[in-house]
Each structure stands twice: as C-alpha cells, then as structure tokens.
Structure 1
Amino acid sequence: MKMANSSIIPIKFLILVGLANICVSQDFDFFYFVQQWPGSSCDTKQGCCFPQTGKPASNFTVHGLWPNFNNGSFPSNCKSVENSFDESKMSDIVPRAETSWAAFSCPSKKKTNSTNSDNMKLWKHEWDKHGTCSHSVLHQHAYFDFTLNLKDHIDLLQILLNNGIKPDGKNYSVEKIRQVIKEATGFEAGIRCNTDASGNSQLNEIVLCVDKSAASRSFIECPILPDANCPDNVEFPIF
C-alpha cells in the first residue's frame, strides 16, 4: 500500500505543476503589434509568393499580434483542445485579412505543386504560436478582428508618405522614420530590417505596443522595444 501511495502522489503533483505551467504560459505583459513591408519580404534571396487572390496592394501588412513579457521574452504555442484553430471562425474575417494580413512565404515544392502562398496556413501559424497565449483575453475571432482593427486605425504608409518617405528604392534615415511615427501616433516604434538579394539593409517591420487588456486602440509606450538590427540609413524597396 505504501508503494502504491508513493507512486500516486508524484503523479498528482506533476498534473498540478502541468496545470500551473499552462496558466503561467497564458499570462503576459503587453502585445507587440507587428506590421511588415511586403517589398522587403519579396526582395530577398528567398523571394516570395502571392496568394491566389493575387498581388496585394502596395501597403504594410500585418505580421502578427504577439504577447510579450516586460523582460523581452515571450510565451508561445499555448495550444490546447479548447483554443485549437478553427477555420470556420475566420469566415467573416477572410475578406479583410486577405487584404491586410496576407502571406508571402512560398510553399514547399516537396509538399505541393502550387506557386501560391497560403493565407490560412499563415493565420493558423500566428494563432497557434501567438494567439493561443492570449486566449484568456481574446478568443480566436476576437484576436483576428482586434488585430485588423489596429491595422485600420494606424496607416503607417500614409504617415511615411506625408513626411516624404516613399517606397521608391531609396535610402532613408531610420531615426527619421521612428520620429515621424512617434509624431503621428504618440508612441515610440521599433524598426526592424532585413537584407535584400544584394545584401543591402532594408526597412522590413514596424512594431508598436498594445496594452494586454486589448481595449479598443489601446496603444502604449513599449515597455521594451525589439532589438534594433538596422544601420542608420535603410532602403525602402518598391513593391
């Protein structure tokens, strides 16, 4: 009997620890709202593919809404049966998401003969990796709807255009890009870069922070900005 009891107690303990870890994994401090420039996604050695709906408009698109901790780390893949991705919950959101949250990754030739990117695969990935960790605040439909509303509220391209920063393949000051965004939004933005096929640094992502309550238009000053990986001047590629 003693042997039986000693084996049962550790199992219960492990179950409780597992449940505690699930709860912790769903807690976070704020969101990164990340938009990307499609011209920079396509102007790389890897290139890009367009969705079946065709080439998206020349505008920033959503990369994701990512729960983060104040120390710079982040929770991920907080998946469970309760919050598993459901395509049917995307039905009324698809038209907006196809315009504002398009996929550019090319499918693996080993798995498909298609030359089109897969929007639904991208949305599932973003939900599984990031959205599930905000499930206590935003269920799946609300997560995508809220993110698209954030995109509608801040028109990054127009902010840049209003200040003479154009996607014309020329170089622009990263500090100027950061400055005009702060003047227009009231908040400091994180600027992320990648490299084109020739190795030149180019504007890739712009990151703003959002309060964890996910209240309407709840932008906040970032507790911590993403690591800067840009030189002083970067190319703003044509798309």
Structure 2
Amino acid sequence: MGGKGWFLLKLLMFQGLFTSRLQDPGFDFFYFVLQWPGAYCDTKRACCYPTTGKPAADFGIHGLWPNYNDGSYPSNCDPDSEFDPAEISDLVSTMQTKWPTLSCPSNNGSKFWEHEWEKHGTCSESVMDQHKYFENTLALRDRVNLLQILQDAGINPDDEFYDLQDIKNAIKDGTGFTPVIHCNKDPEKNSQLHEIFFCVDTSGTEFIECPIIPRDRCPSKLQFAMF
C-alpha cells in the first residue's frame, strides 16, 4: 500500500477510535432515585424543612447517579466543574418543588443540588452539561407519579404496613419497569419505605430494566410513613 493509502487507513482508524470514544459515556447506566419525605424525616436524625416551607407529601428526587454494570460507580469526576446556580436559574422553582432538601440546618436546596452535581453529575458530562443534567432528571420525575401509582393500588402513606412484593408489583404495573426498594428505620426500629431506584439509559432520558438488580434493602413487610 502506498503512502497515500496508509495515510487514509490511519485517518479512518483515528476517526473510528474518536467516534467510539464519543459514543462511550464512561459508565453503563444511571440510577434514578426518588425518596419519600416521611421516611427521611421519621428517623432519630430527623429533618429540617427547606426555607421555602414544608415540601408536598410526595416523592422527591434524590439524584441521577452514573453506575457500572459490575455494581461500582464513578464519583467526583471533575473537581474543576463546580456547581453554578446561575446555570439552572430557570429550573430552581421547579427543583424546590420536585427536588427539595430535607437536611439540617434549613436551607434553600442549593447545597443538596451542589452535592449531587459534583459527586454524580460531573461523571455524566460526556453526555450532558449541568443544565441538561438537572433538566433531564426533572423530566424523569414527571414521567413517574409514584404516589398516585401506589395509592391506586391501595398503598397509602398512613403509617400502615404493606407487603414489599405488593409495592414492587404496583410500581412495575404502573411504570413498566422493575424498581429497587430501600428502607430506613424509624426511632422504633420499624422498616419504612424510603427510596425507590429505577434504571435509566446513558442518555439520561429513557427508563430501562436494570442491567444489574441489587437486593431490596427491606424486609417482606414495611411501613409507609405519614408526612
């Protein structure tokens, strides 16, 4: 092969390598995590309502977390990509409703969002910038009305105990996707519905069945706390 042919071959190989790197986001899927405020607050640690007031009695966003298929995950991928509230100024009012903070001391949520961006969001920058990361996460929340799904199945936040499998079946029937359920404990050591995990593709826009299914961190019966 002549010099020109070798040049073209190397160019094609470089282009193919470059393209493959562009298509590789550096992780395998996202966990999209929602949390029930009643369970967050009903612990020995307790909670503080945000400065905007008590959140609605509804599932709020915890985060959108890149993960690997082997169960590990990247974190704090770009220390230079600091959270900038100005970049999401058009989303803040929606985030205060759908992604509220419950940590103490009472605050407006920006510390929570800063943590989520810097620990998890910076690991998805090959796919989306800061604004798109929060925008996509809010859009996912709009597509999953968990509280309505559970209530339609007769599962209500009334401090009663429900079967874990009934909760999973209701969510699977209502969304089309298998959830992973995490519990925490109230001061009386009752296990209560705390977090619900879904899996999302590497674009951060489409729900998928989880490539790995971690164990539910709940007993067979759990409490759905009031809020």
Q: Does 1:230 align with 2:222?
A: no
1:95 and 1:85 map into 2 onto residues whose CA distance is 17
CA shift digits 1:112-154 (9 cap, x unpaired) = xxxx134000000000000000011010000000000100111
Q: What do you get for the CA RMSD once the two structures are aligned?
A: 1.5
Identity %: 53
2:3 aligned partner = none
**What is the aligned partner in structure 2 of residue 106 from structure 1?**
104
In the aligned structure 1, how far is the partner of 2:140 from the partner of 2:212? 20
Q: What is the CA–CA distance in structure 1 between the aligned matches of 2:125 and 2:156, rounded to whole Å?
A: 37
- The alpha carbon displacement at 1:222 in A equals 0.3
- Structure 1 unaligned residues grouped into runs of 5+: 1-22, 108-115
Q: What is aligned with 1:89?
A: 87
TM-score normalized with structure 1 length: 0.83
Give 1:173's match in structure 2, choosing from 149, 155, 163.
Answer: 163
Aligned match of 2:74: 75
Q: Corresponding residue for 2:141? A: 151
Give yes or no for contact 2:52–2:108 (8 Å, CA) kept in 1: no
In 1, distance between residues paired with 2:84 and 2:110?
10
Distance 2:180 2:174 in 1: 14
Task: Summarize the alignment of residues 181-200 of structure 1 with structure 2, pairs less than 5 Å apart.
Answer: 181-200=171-190
Rounded to whole Å, the distance in 2 between the matches of 1:169 and 1:32 is 27
SS at match of 2:47: coil
- After TM superposition, the score normalised by the length of structure 2 is 0.87
Q: Report what 1:33 is aligned to.
A: 32
Offset of residue 224 of structure 1: 1.3
Whole-Å separation in 2 of the counterparts to 1:186 and 1:92: 31
Over 6 Å off, 4+ runs: none
How far apart are the structure 1 equivalents of 2:66 and 2:198? Answer: 12
Number of residue pairs matched? 205
Which letter maps to 1:163?
A
